[in-house]
Structure 1
Amino acid sequence: MKIEVLHSEDRNVFDALVAGLRLHRNENMGDEDTKPLSVVARDDAGNIIGGVTGRSIYKNFLIEVVWVDKAARGTGLGRQLMEQAEEQAKQRGCLVAQLDTLSFQAPQFYQKLGFEVVGTVPEFAGSPARYFMLKKYQ
Protein backbone atom coordinates (compact mmCIF):
# COMPACT_ATOMS: atom_id res chain seq x y z
CA MET A 1 0.00 0.00 0.00
CA LYS A 2 1.10 3.54 -0.74
CA ILE A 3 -0.55 6.69 0.67
CA GLU A 4 -0.19 9.90 -1.33
CA VAL A 5 -0.82 13.53 -0.47
CA LEU A 6 -2.01 15.57 -3.44
CA HIS A 7 -1.71 19.34 -3.48
CA SER A 8 -3.65 19.95 -6.66
CA GLU A 9 -7.02 18.90 -7.99
CA ASP A 10 -7.04 15.56 -9.79
CA ARG A 11 -10.34 14.81 -11.53
CA ASN A 12 -9.44 11.11 -11.87
CA VAL A 13 -9.00 10.80 -8.10
CA PHE A 14 -12.29 12.63 -7.47
CA ASP A 15 -14.17 10.45 -9.98
CA ALA A 16 -12.73 7.24 -8.48
CA LEU A 17 -13.74 8.28 -4.95
CA VAL A 18 -17.27 9.21 -6.07
CA ALA A 19 -17.63 5.91 -7.94
CA GLY A 20 -16.62 3.99 -4.81
CA LEU A 21 -19.00 5.99 -2.65
CA ARG A 22 -21.89 5.43 -5.08
CA LEU A 23 -21.22 1.70 -5.17
CA HIS A 24 -21.33 1.54 -1.37
CA ARG A 25 -24.49 3.67 -1.24
CA ASN A 26 -26.21 1.57 -3.90
CA GLU A 27 -25.39 -1.61 -1.99
CA ASN A 28 -27.17 -0.14 1.05
CA MET A 29 -29.97 1.92 -0.51
CA GLY A 30 -30.57 0.56 -3.99
CA ASP A 31 -29.92 2.18 -7.31
CA GLU A 32 -29.28 5.89 -7.23
CA ASP A 33 -31.78 8.01 -9.14
CA THR A 34 -30.21 11.45 -9.11
CA LYS A 35 -31.33 14.22 -11.42
CA PRO A 36 -29.93 17.75 -11.67
CA LEU A 37 -32.37 20.54 -10.91
CA SER A 38 -31.73 24.22 -11.60
CA VAL A 39 -33.96 27.28 -11.81
CA VAL A 40 -32.33 30.46 -13.12
CA ALA A 41 -33.33 34.06 -13.78
CA ARG A 42 -31.80 36.08 -16.60
CA ASP A 43 -31.85 39.77 -17.34
CA ASP A 44 -32.92 41.18 -20.71
CA ALA A 45 -29.39 40.66 -22.06
CA GLY A 46 -29.46 36.98 -21.12
CA ASN A 47 -27.09 37.27 -18.17
CA ILE A 48 -27.81 35.09 -15.16
CA ILE A 49 -28.90 37.29 -12.26
CA GLY A 50 -29.90 34.53 -9.87
CA GLY A 51 -30.51 30.87 -9.50
CA VAL A 52 -30.92 27.72 -7.46
CA THR A 53 -29.09 24.56 -8.41
CA GLY A 54 -28.95 21.15 -6.86
CA ARG A 55 -30.23 17.64 -7.42
CA SER A 56 -32.95 15.29 -6.40
CA ILE A 57 -31.82 11.96 -4.94
CA TYR A 58 -33.49 9.42 -2.63
CA LYS A 59 -36.52 11.71 -2.14
CA ASN A 60 -34.22 14.59 -1.10
CA PHE A 61 -33.75 17.91 -2.84
CA LEU A 62 -30.08 18.65 -2.18
CA ILE A 63 -29.65 22.37 -2.75
CA GLU A 64 -26.03 23.06 -3.65
CA VAL A 65 -26.00 26.75 -4.68
CA VAL A 66 -28.41 29.67 -4.29
CA TRP A 67 -27.31 33.04 -5.57
CA VAL A 68 -28.96 36.35 -6.47
CA ASP A 69 -27.04 39.24 -8.00
CA LYS A 70 -26.51 42.10 -5.56
CA ALA A 71 -28.66 44.46 -7.67
CA ALA A 72 -31.62 42.04 -7.50
CA ARG A 73 -31.46 41.23 -3.79
CA GLY A 74 -34.47 42.32 -1.77
CA THR A 75 -36.79 42.18 -4.80
CA GLY A 76 -38.33 38.78 -4.02
CA LEU A 77 -36.37 37.07 -6.77
CA GLY A 78 -34.67 34.67 -4.35
CA ARG A 79 -38.01 33.59 -2.93
CA GLN A 80 -39.45 33.06 -6.43
CA LEU A 81 -36.47 30.97 -7.49
CA MET A 82 -36.61 28.85 -4.33
CA GLU A 83 -40.37 28.32 -4.62
CA GLN A 84 -40.09 27.19 -8.24
CA ALA A 85 -37.17 24.88 -7.48
CA GLU A 86 -38.98 23.36 -4.51
CA GLU A 87 -42.13 22.84 -6.57
CA GLN A 88 -40.12 20.96 -9.17
CA ALA A 89 -38.52 18.87 -6.41
CA LYS A 90 -41.93 17.97 -4.98
CA GLN A 91 -43.11 16.93 -8.44
CA ARG A 92 -40.15 14.55 -8.52
CA GLY A 93 -41.30 12.99 -5.25
CA CYS A 94 -38.90 14.75 -2.89
CA LEU A 95 -40.08 14.74 0.73
CA VAL A 96 -37.43 17.13 2.06
CA ALA A 97 -35.02 19.83 0.95
CA GLN A 98 -31.65 20.37 2.55
CA LEU A 99 -28.87 22.93 2.28
CA ASP A 100 -26.08 24.54 4.21
CA THR A 101 -25.28 28.21 4.54
CA LEU A 102 -22.84 30.46 6.36
CA SER A 103 -23.86 32.96 9.03
CA PHE A 104 -23.18 35.98 6.78
CA GLN A 105 -25.12 34.50 3.87
CA ALA A 106 -28.81 33.83 4.35
CA PRO A 107 -29.89 31.63 7.27
CA GLN A 108 -32.77 33.99 8.09
CA PHE A 109 -33.92 33.97 4.45
CA TYR A 110 -34.17 30.18 4.48
CA GLN A 111 -35.93 30.17 7.85
CA LYS A 112 -38.59 32.50 6.39
CA LEU A 113 -39.10 29.88 3.68
CA GLY A 114 -39.71 27.17 6.29
CA PHE A 115 -36.24 25.67 6.68
CA GLU A 116 -35.11 24.66 10.17
CA VAL A 117 -31.56 24.55 11.48
CA VAL A 118 -30.73 20.90 12.16
CA GLY A 119 -27.02 21.29 12.81
CA THR A 120 -24.31 23.89 13.17
CA VAL A 121 -20.58 24.30 13.11
CA PRO A 122 -19.82 27.26 15.40
CA GLU A 123 -17.69 30.09 14.13
CA PHE A 124 -14.01 30.03 14.94
CA ALA A 125 -11.10 32.32 14.14
CA GLY A 126 -11.15 32.91 10.40
CA SER A 127 -14.42 31.09 9.71
CA PRO A 128 -18.08 32.09 10.12
CA ALA A 129 -20.68 29.74 11.61
CA ARG A 130 -22.15 27.17 9.25
CA TYR A 131 -25.80 26.10 9.39
CA PHE A 132 -27.24 22.86 8.06
CA MET A 133 -30.91 23.33 7.24
CA LEU A 134 -33.85 21.06 6.42
CA LYS A 135 -37.37 21.63 5.18
CA LYS A 136 -39.94 18.85 5.31
CA TYR A 137 -42.62 18.83 2.63
CA GLN A 138 -45.02 16.56 4.49
Structure 2
Amino acid sequence: MTDAVISTASEEEVRSGALGRRLREFNYGFVGEYPEMQPVRLNAKDAQGRLMGGLRGFVFLEWLRIDVLFVEEEARGTGLGRRLLAEAEARGKALGAGNAALETFEWQARGFYLKQGYEEFARIDNYARGNYLAYMKKKL
Protein backbone atom coordinates (compact mmCIF):
# COMPACT_ATOMS: atom_id res chain seq x y z
CA MET A 1 0.00 0.00 0.00
CA THR A 2 2.02 2.97 -1.25
CA ASP A 3 -0.80 5.51 -1.27
CA ALA A 4 -1.24 5.62 2.53
CA VAL A 5 -1.42 9.10 4.06
CA ILE A 6 0.62 9.64 7.24
CA SER A 7 -0.85 12.04 9.81
CA THR A 8 -0.72 12.82 13.51
CA ALA A 9 -2.90 10.45 15.54
CA SER A 10 -5.81 12.14 17.27
CA GLU A 11 -6.20 11.93 21.06
CA GLU A 12 -9.26 9.73 20.53
CA GLU A 13 -7.27 7.37 18.30
CA VAL A 14 -4.51 7.14 20.90
CA ARG A 15 -6.98 6.55 23.76
CA SER A 16 -8.73 3.79 21.81
CA GLY A 17 -5.63 1.60 22.04
CA ALA A 18 -6.36 0.09 18.62
CA LEU A 19 -2.76 0.27 17.42
CA GLY A 20 -1.40 -1.48 20.53
CA ARG A 21 -4.09 -4.18 20.27
CA ARG A 22 -3.12 -4.82 16.66
CA LEU A 23 0.53 -5.21 17.62
CA ARG A 24 -0.31 -7.53 20.54
CA GLU A 25 -2.42 -9.73 18.27
CA PHE A 26 0.47 -9.95 15.82
CA ASN A 27 2.92 -10.78 18.64
CA TYR A 28 0.66 -13.52 20.05
CA GLY A 29 1.45 -15.58 16.96
CA PHE A 30 5.11 -15.71 18.05
CA VAL A 31 5.13 -15.73 21.87
CA GLY A 32 1.56 -16.65 22.78
CA GLU A 33 -0.91 -14.49 24.64
CA TYR A 34 0.49 -12.31 27.40
CA PRO A 35 -1.02 -9.80 29.81
CA GLU A 36 -0.88 -6.09 29.17
CA MET A 37 1.82 -4.00 30.80
CA GLN A 38 1.56 -3.95 34.62
CA PRO A 39 2.67 -0.68 36.26
CA VAL A 40 5.06 -0.46 39.21
CA ARG A 41 4.79 2.98 40.82
CA LEU A 42 6.44 3.79 44.14
CA ASN A 43 6.80 7.00 46.17
CA ALA A 44 8.94 7.64 49.24
CA LYS A 45 7.83 10.49 51.51
CA ASP A 46 9.28 11.95 54.68
CA ALA A 47 7.34 12.39 57.95
CA GLN A 48 5.89 15.67 56.66
CA GLY A 49 4.61 14.01 53.49
CA ARG A 50 7.25 15.58 51.24
CA LEU A 51 8.23 13.48 48.23
CA MET A 52 11.83 12.34 48.77
CA GLY A 53 12.06 9.91 45.89
CA GLY A 54 10.24 7.40 43.81
CA LEU A 55 10.31 4.85 41.06
CA ARG A 56 8.24 4.36 37.93
CA GLY A 57 8.37 1.21 35.89
CA PHE A 58 6.33 -1.63 34.50
CA VAL A 59 6.36 -5.36 33.93
CA PHE A 60 5.97 -6.57 30.37
CA LEU A 61 6.82 -9.93 28.82
CA GLU A 62 8.45 -11.17 32.04
CA TRP A 63 10.73 -8.12 32.36
CA LEU A 64 10.62 -5.36 34.93
CA ARG A 65 11.49 -2.16 33.11
CA ILE A 66 12.67 0.69 35.34
CA ASP A 67 11.88 4.02 33.66
CA VAL A 68 12.59 6.45 36.50
CA LEU A 69 14.33 6.11 39.86
CA PHE A 70 15.00 9.38 41.65
CA VAL A 71 16.09 10.26 45.18
CA GLU A 72 16.36 13.83 46.46
CA GLU A 73 19.96 14.87 47.05
CA GLU A 74 19.51 15.17 50.82
CA ALA A 75 18.29 11.54 50.99
CA ARG A 76 21.07 10.05 48.85
CA GLY A 77 23.39 7.69 50.67
CA THR A 78 20.69 6.73 53.19
CA GLY A 79 19.65 3.50 51.45
CA LEU A 80 16.43 4.96 50.09
CA GLY A 81 17.34 4.26 46.45
CA ARG A 82 18.30 0.70 47.31
CA ARG A 83 14.99 0.21 49.16
CA LEU A 84 12.96 1.63 46.28
CA LEU A 85 14.76 -0.59 43.77
CA ALA A 86 14.40 -3.70 45.99
CA GLU A 87 10.67 -3.05 46.43
CA ALA A 88 10.20 -2.59 42.67
CA GLU A 89 12.09 -5.81 42.01
CA ALA A 90 9.95 -7.68 44.55
CA ARG A 91 6.76 -6.32 42.98
CA GLY A 92 8.11 -7.13 39.54
CA LYS A 93 8.76 -10.73 40.56
CA ALA A 94 5.23 -10.95 42.00
CA LEU A 95 3.93 -9.81 38.60
CA GLY A 96 5.94 -12.52 36.83
CA ALA A 97 9.19 -10.74 35.96
CA GLY A 98 12.33 -12.86 35.93
CA ASN A 99 14.62 -10.02 34.87
CA ALA A 100 14.94 -6.25 35.16
CA ALA A 101 16.30 -3.68 32.72
CA LEU A 102 16.99 0.05 32.75
CA GLU A 103 18.97 2.82 31.11
CA THR A 104 21.15 5.34 32.91
CA PHE A 105 23.37 8.19 31.74
CA GLU A 106 27.00 8.16 32.84
CA TRP A 107 26.41 11.15 35.16
CA GLN A 108 23.48 9.43 36.86
CA ALA A 109 23.68 6.18 38.82
CA ARG A 110 25.60 3.52 36.89
CA GLY A 111 27.78 2.74 39.96
CA PHE A 112 24.71 2.46 42.18
CA TYR A 113 23.09 -0.06 39.84
CA LEU A 114 26.31 -2.09 39.61
CA LYS A 115 26.27 -2.35 43.43
CA GLN A 116 22.68 -3.63 43.23
CA GLY A 117 23.70 -6.48 40.94
CA TYR A 118 22.97 -4.93 37.54
CA GLU A 119 25.38 -5.39 34.66
CA GLU A 120 25.95 -3.08 31.71
CA PHE A 121 25.27 -4.96 28.49
CA ALA A 122 25.32 -2.14 25.96
CA ARG A 123 26.21 1.51 25.66
CA ILE A 124 25.58 4.35 23.26
CA ASP A 125 28.51 6.73 23.32
CA ASN A 126 27.99 10.46 22.81
CA TYR A 127 24.24 10.10 23.42
CA ALA A 128 23.96 13.45 25.18
CA ARG A 129 26.67 16.06 24.67
CA GLY A 130 29.58 13.67 24.86
CA ASN A 131 28.06 11.45 27.56
CA TYR A 132 27.10 7.81 27.14
CA LEU A 133 23.83 6.04 27.89
CA ALA A 134 24.30 2.66 29.57
CA TYR A 135 21.83 -0.22 29.18
CA MET A 136 21.75 -2.42 32.25
CA LYS A 137 20.02 -5.65 33.26
CA LYS A 138 19.70 -8.01 36.20
CA LYS A 139 18.30 -11.49 36.74
CA LEU A 140 15.71 -11.32 39.52
Query: Is TM > 0.5 for Structure 1 vs Structure 2?
Result: yes
Matched with 2:11 is 12
Identical pairs, percent:
32
Deviation at 1:104, TM superposition (A): 0.2
Contact 2:38 2:95 in 1 (8 A): no
1:23 lines up with 2:26 in the alignment:
no
User: Does the Cα contact within 8 Å between 1:26 and 1:32 map onto a contact in 2?
Assistant: no
Distance 1:23 1:84, change over 3 A: same
Which has the larger displacement, 126-135 or 59-68? 126-135
The one-letter code of the counterpart of 2:124 is V
Partner of 2:84: 81
CA distance in 2, matches of 1:123, 1:63: 22
Aligned AA for 2:24? R
Q: CA deviation at 1:129?
A: 0.3
Q: Deviations over 1:94-136 (max 9, x none)?
A: 1001110100000111111111111110126724200111111
Cα distance, 1:31 vs structure 2: 4.1
Runs of at least 5 residues in structure 2 that lack an aligned partner in the other structure: none
2: CA distance between counterparts of 1:11 and 1:56?
A: 27
CA distance in 2: counterparts of 1:48 and 1:11, whole angstroms = 34
The residue identity in structure 1 corresponding to 2:36 is D
Deviation at 1:13, TM superposition (A): 8.9
Aligned runs of 1:28-67 on 2, under 5 Å? Answer: 28-29=27-28, 30-67=33-70
How far did residue 79 of structure 1 move?
Answer: 0.4
Secondary structure of the structure 2 residue equivalent to 1:97: strand
Moved more, 111-120 or 18-27: 18-27
26 and 47 in structure 1: CA distance in 2 versus 1, 3 angstrom threshold: farther
1:112 & 1:75 partners in 2: Cα distance?
Answer: 14
What RMSD over aligned residues (CA atoms) do the two structures have, in Å?
A: 2.5
Under a length normalisation based on structure 2, what TM-score does the superposition of the two structures give? Answer: 0.81
Query: Are residues 13 and 110 of structure 1, via their aligned partners in 2, closer, same or farther at CA, if it must alter by over 3 Å?
Result: farther
